């Protein structure tokens, strides 16, 4: 399956920029047209311009769920019964866990269960928000619209997470490559020069002696370096699963310059878009806030949204409760206040979400733009030190030879 990047206009007249997977560009065009998109531009992605996505197996990602909603809506629009739709999706869904859940849902539908009820049996696959949206669609008789709204939500969530992942993955990959190259230089390359200098019984410059000591240490204790790195990574992963770890890393992402800017904007985009969607489904504000909290990535924002829920249930306005948390920018609670005054809170939240989606893209580019020169300078310093350590003795040898002649 190839990936294609496209720019299109959906049924509501909104401009959409996203990716789609298909066997060919014509298949991609047909799939988009059947979903109600008017294609403005489409092109195949290659290894250089494709979004970074780590292929870990497990529960379906937002991308998988967006495809599921899009396909369900397209087939349902053709007049196919829900049980047959599930039978078709169960055969063509690539994610194994999602495919298994779809097959079990089909069996439940054939026994007389509702679609939302069969989804709720798989809470690790289908979120409570998706189940509530589908339940609202079944009650109103507008199931297609519910799937369309969830498709848009998953698409936005996928792009936001992809932007953050890209910003985090690039420097990590560069640093890992740098460490591997440095270890190879210390263990394999530099010892050869050291043996040559040792045979000449010459006095070595200070930079060469420093690098020589580091090289000898790496040759003897390289396994310890590997164990320490593995232990640090494993420890960080396990620590992040604890309450203290979540609070520590949540605090860290809010305090590191540039990263904090991207964290705040991505959390604001998630909050506004999710709350707008849930309010549109007919849920109360307090119930919606409880579900929104479950979709926030940073634990401090999870706790802040739950605090807002409590305050709203006690009679506070949403804008006042958001302002009282101290975590949301003034633009968020000011626009929410305008939405409350005009009676269009859902629409104002959606506009705010669109604004912060664009801000996340800009913050990502700013972070990458800042990291690239920093990494380049650091690599340059490391290479310069190695070059100086190797060539200083060679220059001294050349001078000694010239004086001897």
String of b and e for 321-357 (b: at least 16 CB within 10 Å)? Answer: bbbebebbeeebbebbbebbeeeebeebbbebbebbb
Per-residue pLDDT of 8-50, as tens digits, reads 877 667 677 777 766 678 877 877 777 677 888 888 876 444 5
What pLDDT was estimated at residue 4?
Answer: 79
State the distance between the two ends of the chain, measured CA to CA, in whole angstroms: 69
What pLDDT was estimated at residue 389?
Answer: 75
Q: What is the CATH number of the domain that holds 300?
A: 1.20.81.30
Residues 39 and 179 in one domain: no
Residue 129 domain-assigned? Answer: no
**Of 364, 370, 366, 367, nearest to 159 (Cα)?**
364
Residue 275 domain-assigned? Answer: yes
What average pLDDT is seen over the chain?
81
DSSP assignment string, 336-403: HHHHHHHT-HHHHHHHHHHHHHHHHHHHHHHHHHHHHHHHHHHHHHHHHHHHHHHHHHHHHHHHHHHH
Burial environment of residue 187 by CB neighbours within 10 A (0 to 12, 13 to 18, 19 or more):
middle
Tell me the C-alpha distance between 305 and 380, whole Å. 45
User: H-type helices in 95-205, by residue range?
Assistant: 96-110, 115-119, 128-140, 143-184, 190-199
Give me the phi and psi of 41, to 5 degrees please.
-155, 140
Residues 176 and 46 in one domain: no
Tell me the torsion sign for CA atoms 61, 65, 71, 75: positive
Residue 403 pLDDT grade (very low, low, confident, very high; cuts 50, 70, 90): low
Residues 189 and 336 in one domain: yes
Tell me the C-alpha distance between 399 and 49, whole Å. 51
Question: Could you give the 3-state DSSP secondary structure of residue 44?
Answer: strand
Residue with tokens 């040559």: 196
Residues 180 and 38 in one domain: no
Per-residue pLDDT of 288-306, as tens digits, reads 898 898 888 899 999 999 9
Note the residue count of the chain. Answer: 405
End position of a domain, from candidates 50, 66, 89: 50
The residue segments making up the domain with residue 369 are 172-405
User: H-type helices in 241-284, by residue range?
Assistant: 243-255, 259-280
Residue 154 domain-assigned? Answer: no
Could you give the angle at the alpha carbon of 64 between the alpha carbons of 63 and 69, nearest 5°?
100
Q: What is the CATH number of the domain that holds 17?
A: 3.10.20
Residue 198 pLDDT grade (very low, low, confident, very high; cuts 50, 70, 90): low
Residues 46 and 180 in one domain: no
Tell me the C-alpha distance between 241 and 206, whole Å. 46
State the DSSP H helix or E strand holding residue 73, giving kind and residue range, or none if neither. Answer: helix 62-77
Tell me the C-alpha distance between 189 and 177, whole Å. 16
Per-residue pLDDT of 234-284, as tens digits, reads 998 899 888 899 899 889 888 887 778 888 888 998 899 889 988 887 888
pTM, full prediction: 0.66
| Sheet arrangement for strand 15-22 | 15-22, 2-9, 38-44
Residues 265 and 404 in one domain: yes
Given a contact cutoff of 8 angstroms between Cβ atoms, the answer to whether 268 and 356 are in contact is yes
State how many domains the chain has: 2
Residues 176 and 39 in one domain: no
Tell me the C-alpha distance between 352 and 319, whole Å. 13
Residue 115 domain-assigned? Answer: no
Residue 133 domain-assigned? Answer: no
């Amino acid at each position: 399956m190839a990936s294609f990047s496209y720019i299109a206009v959906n049924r509501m007249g909104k401009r959409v920029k996203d990716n789609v997977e298909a066997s060919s560009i014509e298949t991609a065009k047909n799939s988009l047209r059947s979903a109600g998109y008017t294609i403005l531009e489409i092109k195949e992605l290659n290894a250089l311009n494709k979004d970074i996505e780590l292929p870990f197996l497990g529960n379906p990602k937002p991308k998988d769920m967006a495809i599921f909603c899009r396909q369900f809506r397209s087939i349902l629009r053709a007049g196919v019964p829900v049980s047959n739709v599930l039978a078709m999706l169960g055969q063509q869904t690539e994610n194994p866990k999602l495919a298994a859940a779809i097959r079990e849902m089909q069996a439940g539908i054939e026994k007389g269960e509702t679609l939302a009820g069969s989804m709720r049996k798989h809470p690790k696959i289908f979120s409570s928000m998706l189940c509530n949206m589908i339940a609202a669609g079944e009650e109103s008789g507008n199931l297609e619209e519910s799937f369309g709204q969830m498709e848009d939500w998953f698409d936005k969530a996928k792009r936001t997470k992809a932007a953050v992942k890209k910003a985090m993955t690039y420097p990590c990959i560069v640093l890992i490559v740098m460490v591997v190259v440095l270890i190879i230089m210390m263990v394999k390359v530099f010892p050869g020069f050291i043996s040559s200098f040792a045979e000449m019984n010459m006095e070595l410059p200070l930079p060469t002696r420093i690098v020589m000591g580091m090289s000898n240490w790496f040759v003897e204790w390289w396994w310890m370096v590997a164990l320490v790195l593995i232990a640090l990574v494993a420890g960080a992963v396990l620590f992040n699963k604890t309450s203290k770890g979540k609070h520590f890393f949540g605090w860290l992402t809010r305090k590191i310059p540039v990263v904090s800017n991207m964290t705040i904007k991505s959390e604001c985009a998630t909050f506004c878009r999710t709350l707008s969607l849930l309010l549109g489904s007919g849920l109360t504000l307090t119930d919606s806030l409880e579900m929104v909290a479950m979709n926030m990535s940073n634990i401090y924002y999870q706790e802040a949204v739950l605090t807002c829920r409590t305050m709203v249930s006690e009679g506070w306005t949403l804008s006042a409760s958001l302002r009282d948390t101290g975590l949301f920018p003034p633009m968020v609670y000011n626009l929410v206040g305008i939405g409350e005054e005009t009676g269009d809170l859902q629409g104002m939240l959606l506009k705010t979400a669109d604004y912060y989606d664009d801000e996340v893209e800009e913050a990502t580019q700013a972070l990458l733009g800042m990291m690239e020169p920093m990494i380049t300078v650091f690599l340059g310093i490391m290479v310069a030190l190695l070059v100086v350590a190797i060539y200083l003795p060679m220059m001294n040898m050349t001078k000694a030879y010239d004086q001897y002649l």
